Amino acid sequence: MADDPLAIAIVYKMDVGFRFMRNASDIIRTVSRHTLAYMLFSMSELFRHYEEFDPLDLLIVHAVLNANVIHVMNDPVLDEKFSSIHAVEPDVIKQGVSRAALSRFLSLPLETVRRRVTGLKRRKILEETKAGLIVTEQNAFRFGNNHELQKTNMLLLTKLLRDLKRAGINGPDDLRASKVAASARKAK
């Protein structure tokens, strides 16, 4: 590693009590492996919980849910107001999303999104507003307000954070080395 001028070394203390050197490539690979596992476990739980739904429909529902509340997550006051597990964002504050935006975001053909959205509207999960599609707060399947899945997500996130910490990544500052190394490679 000393021969590689692009490798940025990070020294950290492992839970097992020894110091260890890591380079930017190791950090990128470690984070990628652990976050991919987190995403797959999360999707698996989602599919298991909503077995009566096609996985593509679940993906569309959750993309709409995310679009509906992205402005809430970016506003500290709203984020705090709706942070309780018992608080549900009312339909009137949800930001709608178009079928075209969903198609682009999910890299799905627009006609596929249109067809799936029609079925989800028929099941009264999605609703059309002037601003676009929303997941209704009154949907019978509790999308966006499923306490069981929220608690499972907390367990999976705890595991992800614990695994990253064990790998020496305690926070965003530990990820900077990978950005610096990528910049150095581009500059070369």
The conformational region for residue 144 under phi > 0 = left, psi -120 to 50 = alpha, else beta, is left
The string of pLDDT tens digits covering residues 138-160 is 999 999 999 999 999 999 999 99
Residues sharing a CB contact under 8 Å with residue 24, sequence separation 6 or more, in sequence order: 6, 7, 8, 177, 178, 180, 181, 182
- Write the CATH number for 135: 1.10.10
Residues sharing a CB contact under 8 Å with residue 129, sequence separation 6 or more, in sequence order: 91, 94, 96
Instruction: Quote the pLDDT of residue 25.
Output: 82
Task: Of 105, 78, 74, 77, give the one whose Cα is nearest residue 92.
Answer: 78
Could you give the 3-state DSSP secondary structure of residue 126?
A: strand
Q: Is residue 93 part of a domain?
A: yes
Q: Is residue 157 part of a domain?
A: no
Does residue 10 sit in the same domain as residue 43? yes
The mean per-residue pLDDT over the stretch 67-87 comes to 94
Number of domains in the chain: 2
The mean per-residue pLDDT over the stretch 106-127 comes to 98
Range of the domain at 45: 1-50+166-188
Does residue 58 sit in the same domain as residue 93? yes
pLDDT above 50 for 14: no
